């Protein structure tokens, strides 16, 4: 995630291309697309939109060969839709998703595997868009359509990349059911996701660490970390989730299960699940040779878990524990902000500050927290 280095390299490539007499459309399209993806990753959405629109201009020029070998049009449209979703331009986002889906549905079925993967991911993104607008019934339909597409592959649906994809879709469906207050069905969906991720982790060699590049990769939504470009050629490991990614998805699902238990009034059981998830995060980081300090600095989602644990302690009347947990959460989020792109975690910080104000009667600015607080944060968790 060395985004600054990526952008520097892209700027050098741009300078080289701009000095060429004949501007090769394929290279310009690819460069603009990759720059757009990177800008999206760092939260510079206007720049991402500009680059992706420039990609469209390369792809859709009047030259007969304008689209020959250029970036996949459906992927560009899907990425533009994601940018518009993040900037709350929901109408434009819906239009781009629909155009992307139409292209995929009208493609030849020579590579049905890639086609179904891309269509499923676009349906997943449409579900995210619907959820952001409070249209949870519509979101549920989109995810179920995606799951039906995956299931249509039969035995192939149980292999890479569809096994992992089906797990993330079940998890997404659980999130939608929570928002629609269908807690029992949400628990079933999370259970389905856990079964998928457990099997994937069991079958995943621990020594495989796959790097997923940006070349041809889509701008993925924060709730969906699978690339929706045409990248699955055969059974190689390119684009496959690493063991760390699988474990992270498992932890997120179990985190959600803990919250559902609490929403059902089973606070003790829910807290136990959240404690176990946090302990598992620490165990994995220690196993990989990391110390507690780097765990705190490397995992803002641990801060989110502590926020939720603090809320639960408030409900249980344990204000001392709630205060300690929320202070710990703020420390972790502060440290994470120095090593991670914190843009997508801003909601976590805002939530932690609200809880801290509720407990302590004062707002704690994230920048006021000293960077040497790590051991204090994890001492009692």
DSSP 354-380: HHHHHHHSS---GGGS-TT-HHHHHH-
The domain limits of the chain are 1-71, 73-78+107-264, 295-381
Asked if 162 and 112 count as a contact pair (C-beta separation under 8 A), the reply is no
List the one residue out of 343, 145, 358, 167 whose CA is nearest residue 246: 167
Rounded Cα distance, 379 and 366, in Å: 20
Q: Could you read off the pLDDT of 127-142 as tens digits, one per residue?
A: 999 999 999 999 999 9
* DSSP for residue 107: S
Sign of the CA dihedral running 3, 345, 268, 363 = positive
Rounded Cα distance, 350 and 132, in Å: 18
pLDDT at 124 > cutoff 70:
yes
Question: What is the pTM (predicted TM-score) of this model?
Answer: 0.79
* DSSP for residue 152: T
Rounded Cα distance, 214 and 217, in Å: 5
| Residue 316: Cβ-neighbour burial (10 angstroms; 0-12, 13-18, 19+) | middle
- DSSP letters, 234-256, are TT--TTPPPHHHHHHHHHHHHHH
- DSSP letters, 188-230, are HHHHHHHHHHHHHHHTS-TT--PPP--TT-----TT--S--SS
Residue 210 region, left (φ>0) first, then alpha (ψ -120 to 50), else beta?
Answer: beta
pLDDT at 222: 36
> Length of the chain in residues, anyone?
381
pLDDT at 13 > cutoff 90:
no
> For the domain bounded by 73-78+107-264, which CATH number is listed?
1.25.40.10
Percentage of residues in the chain having pLDDT higher than 70: 77
Rounded Cα distance, 259 and 253, in Å: 10
Task: State how far Cα 308 lies from the chain centre.
Answer: 19
pLDDT at 225 > cutoff 60:
no
- DSSP letters, 35-98, are HHHHHHHTT-HHHHHHHHHHHHHHHT-SSTTTTTT---HHHHHHHHHHHHHHTT-HHHHHHHHH
Q: Could you read off the pLDDT of 282-336 as tens digits, one per residue?
A: 887 776 555 554 455 467 889 999 999 999 999 999 999 999 999 888 888 887 7
pLDDT at 326: 92
Percentage of residues in the chain having pLDDT higher than 90: 46
Mean pLDDT across the chain: 80
Confidence of residue 239 (pLDDT cuts 50, 70, 90): low
Rounded Cα distance, 48 and 234, in Å: 31
Which of 115-119, 133-137, 230-234, 356-360 is predicted least confidently? 230-234
Average pLDDT over residues 17-21: 82
pLDDT at 337: 65
**At CB < 8 A and 24+ separation, what contacts does 105-111 make?**
111/230
Asked if 149 and 124 count as a contact pair (C-beta separation under 8 A), the reply is no
């Amino acid at each position: 995630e060395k985004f600054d280095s990526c952008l520097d390299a892209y700027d050098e490539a741009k300078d080289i291309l701009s000095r060429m007499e004949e501007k090769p459309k394929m290279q310009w399209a690819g460069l603009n697309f990759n720059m757009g993806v990177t800008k999206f990753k760092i939260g510079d959405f206007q720049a991402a939109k500009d680059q992706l629109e420039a990609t469209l201009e390369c792809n859709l020029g009047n030259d007969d060969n304008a689209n020959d070998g250029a970036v996949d049009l459906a992927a560009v449209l899907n990425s533009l839709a994601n940018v518009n979703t993040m900037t709350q331009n929901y109408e434009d986002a819906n239009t781009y998703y629909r155009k992307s889906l139409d292209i995929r549905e009208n493609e030849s079925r020579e590579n049905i595997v890639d086609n179904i993967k891309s269509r499923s991911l676009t349906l997943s993104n449409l579900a995210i868009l619907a959820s952001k607008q409070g249209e949870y019934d519509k979101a549920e339909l989109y995810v179920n359509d995606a799951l039906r597409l995956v299931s249509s592959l039969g035995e192939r649906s149980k292999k890479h990349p569809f096994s992992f994809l089906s797990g993330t879709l079940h998890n997404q469906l659980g999130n939608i059911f929570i928002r629609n207050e269908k807690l029992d069905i949400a628990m079933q969906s999370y259970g389905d996701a856990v079964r998928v991720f457990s099997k994937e982790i069991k079958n995943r060699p621990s020594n495989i660490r796959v790097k997923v590049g940006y070349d041809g990769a889509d701008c993925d939504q924060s709730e969906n970390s699978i690339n929706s470009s045409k990248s699955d050629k055969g059974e190689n490991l390119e684009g496959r989730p690493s063991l760390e990614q699988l474990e992270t998805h498992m932890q997120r699902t179990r985190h959600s299960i803990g919250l559902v238990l609490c929403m059902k009034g089973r606070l003790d059981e829910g807290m136990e699940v959240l404690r176990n998830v946090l302990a598992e995060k620490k165990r994995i980081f220690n196993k990989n040779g990391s110390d507690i300090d780097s765990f705190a600095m490397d995992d803002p989602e641990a801060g989110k878990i502590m926020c939720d644990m603090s809320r639960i302690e408030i409900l249980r009347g344990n204000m001392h524990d709630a205060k300690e947990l929320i202070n710990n959460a703020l420390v972790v989020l502060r440290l994470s902000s120095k090593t991670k792109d914190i843009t997508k975690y801003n909601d976590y910080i805002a939530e932690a500050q609200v809880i801290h104000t509720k407990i302590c009667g004062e707002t704690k600015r994230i920048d006021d927290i000293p960077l040497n607080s790590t051991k204090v944060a994890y001492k009692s968790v």
